[in-house]
């Protein structure tokens, strides 16, 4: 049948171009993101679903800008910041990025530990093995092999969509709360505002822009081939936020409805789902969390190593040997070793560090976006590929919104302390 052949051809085209954009967007649903979305659903029910649509639009625009800069300039974001704004500015930006990303790396290994404990495996076994696996994958692999492994991990997020349906949510109510605007009085609640910032930070994290642009450059995408990469970015951004929507819905339909408003990590959410939604939802949620944590534990240190080495002028790249890019690989190794090591400390406050890392993402994001907007609108740098007026409006609106939310949260925190 003709229509079937047409759909088959379209699917093959999509799968052929899927790569950096899809991977970057999906790894954002990491341990920190899943805990943040689970907490949002458990504490506020369907009330925060309205954030998903504007966050998806903003994510598409920001990711597309990053990928386009990589294809047009052939340089990473931190490399461009150093060239256009100087080494001192780049140094302080990298310092803030490393501090924020280290918190994220710790959260990923904490996710590995807690998810494996659900299957009866001690963190003293799972965390060292996970650290060794992600180190070996990048240090001993090449870009094509690493990309294939990351793509396979991305599709495992379908488990959360299935778990969402198994939780038997009120889909009509969830749909209404997705499109209904929030009431202004809700923003007067400090916990609500804190969670909104955390959700945006979990969806549009600063590290994503650095990693995506570096991946596009390393893959060798040119302006002529960019149309496929744009599809990749769009598909990845929509898919990842559909997954986020289902995580919130699953926890809202079970934990929130039955009064389980306080969770300490995503494994609490998985365990609470078991008596409410059954073993299948429990296993899917727990396995999805383990996959997400291991996936992000590979990419976040890699993104940080890319960013710092590009910004400081050191050689970087998965296709290079250890001897050709020693700073890149040593930094990657140090982040994995330290991130995994911290988790083996007794009584580590996982939830506080994890949600705080997402909030720090939200606080750092406006500064990264401002640099990106200045760069992407430079005609001498981007030529005819500068931002459209619509993209500028959306990107600046995202930036100003984050500045406003962060300022409001800091003001409320100061008043309550």
Give dist(CA 231, CA 49) in Å, integer. 25
Per-residue pLDDT for 357 more than 60? yes
Average pLDDT over residues 299-327: 84
Whether the per-residue pLDDT at 186 is higher than 90: the answer is no
- Residue-wise pLDDT for 30-88, tens only, equals 777 787 888 888 889 898 999 999 889 888 888 899 999 999 999 888 989 998 888 88
Q: Is 106 helix (H, G, I), strand (E, B) or coil?
A: helix
Q: Give the model's pLDDT for residue 93.
A: 85
The predicted-structure confidence for 276-298, as pLDDT tens digits, reads as follows 556 666 777 777 777 778 878 88
Helices (H), 168-205: 171-179, 190-203
Say which residue, 254 or 141, is predicted with more confidence. Answer: 254
Give residue-wise pLDDT tens across range 128-171.
Answer: 999 998 888 777 766 666 666 666 666 667 777 877 787 788 88
> Do residues 256 and 45 make contact, with C-beta atoms less than 8 angstroms apart?
yes
| Per-residue model confidence (pLDDT) at position 97 | 86
Of 3 and 76, the structure prediction assigns the larger pLDDT to 76
Query: Residues of the chain with pLDDT > 70: what percent?
Result: 82
Question: Mean of the per-residue pLDDT values for the chain?
Answer: 80
Whole-model pTM over 0.85: no
Q: Other C-beta atoms within 10 Å of 306: how many?
A: 28
In sign, the C-alpha dihedral spanning 306, 307, 312, 313 is positive
Confidence tier at 176 by pLDDT (50, 70, 90):
very high
pLDDT at position 290 is 79
Residue 9 has pLDDT above 70, yes or no: no
In contact, 45 and 254? CB cutoff 8 Å: no
Could you tell me which residue, 171 or 357, shows the higher pLDDT?
Answer: 171
Our measurement of the distance from residue 125's CA atom to the centroid of its chain's CA atoms, rounded to an integer in Å, reads 26
Residue with tokens 């982040």: 335
Confidence band, pLDDT 50/70/90 cuts, at residue 226: confident
Q: What is the pLDDT of residue 365?
A: 77
Q: Tell me the C-alpha distance between 229 and 17, whole Å.
A: 6
Alpha carbon of residue 67 to chain centroid: 15
**pLDDT value at position 128?**
92
Out of 88-97, 189-198, 284-293, the most confident range is: 88-97
Percent of the chain residues topping a pLDDT of 90: 10
What SS3 class is residue 329? helix
């Amino acid at each position: 049948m003709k229509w079937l052949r047409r759909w088959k051809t379209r699917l093959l085209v999509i799968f052929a171009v899927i790569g950096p954009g899809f991977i970057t967007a999906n790894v954002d649903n990491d341990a920190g993101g899943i805990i943040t979305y689970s907490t949002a659903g458990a504490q506020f029910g369907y009330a925060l679903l309205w954030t998903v649509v504007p966050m998806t639009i903003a994510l598409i625009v920001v990711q597309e800008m990053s990928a386009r800069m990589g294809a047009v300039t052939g340089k990473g974001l931190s490399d461009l910041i150093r060239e256009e704004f100087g080494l001192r500015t780049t140094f302080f930006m990298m310092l803030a990025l490393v501090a924020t990303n280290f918190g994220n790396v710790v959260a990923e290994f904490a996710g590995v530990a807690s998810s494996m404990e659900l299957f009866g495996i001690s963190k003293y076994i799972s965390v060292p093995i996970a650290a060794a696996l992600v180190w070996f994958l990048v240090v001993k692999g090449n870009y094509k092999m690493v990309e294939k492994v990351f793509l396979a991990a991305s599709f495992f997020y379908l488990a959360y969509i299935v778990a969402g349906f198994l939780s038997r949510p009120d889909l009509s109510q969830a749909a209404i709360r997705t499109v209904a605007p929030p009431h202004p009085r809700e923003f007067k609640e400090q916990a609500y505002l804190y969670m909104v910032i955390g959700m945006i930070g979990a969806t549009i994290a600063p590290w994503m822009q650095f990693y995506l642009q570096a991946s596009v450059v390393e893959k060798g995408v040119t302006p002529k081939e960019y149309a496929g990469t744009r599809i990749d970015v769009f598909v990845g951004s929509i898919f990842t936020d559909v997954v986020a929507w289902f995580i919130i819905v699953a926890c809202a339909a079970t934990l929130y409805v039955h009064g389980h408003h306080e969770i300490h990590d995503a494994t609490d959410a998985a365990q609470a789902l078991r008596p409410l939604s059954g073993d299948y939802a429990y296993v899917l949620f727990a396995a999805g969390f383990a996959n997400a944590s291991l996936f992000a534990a590979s990419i976040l240190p890699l993104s940080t190593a890319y960013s710092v080495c590009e910004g400081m002028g050191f050689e970087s790249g998965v296709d290079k040997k250890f001897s050709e890019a020693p700073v890149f690989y040593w930094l990657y190794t140090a982040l994995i070793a330290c991130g995994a090591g911290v988790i083996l400390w007794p009584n580590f406050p996982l939830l506080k560090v994890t949600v705080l890392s997402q909030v720090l993402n939200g606080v750092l994001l406006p500064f990264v976006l401002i640099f990106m907007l200045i760069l992407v609108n430079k005609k001498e740098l981007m030529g005819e590929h500068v931002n459209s007026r619509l993209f500028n409006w959306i990107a600046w609106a995202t930036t100003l919104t984050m500045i406003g939310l962060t300022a409001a949260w800091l003001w409320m925190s100061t008043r309550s302390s």
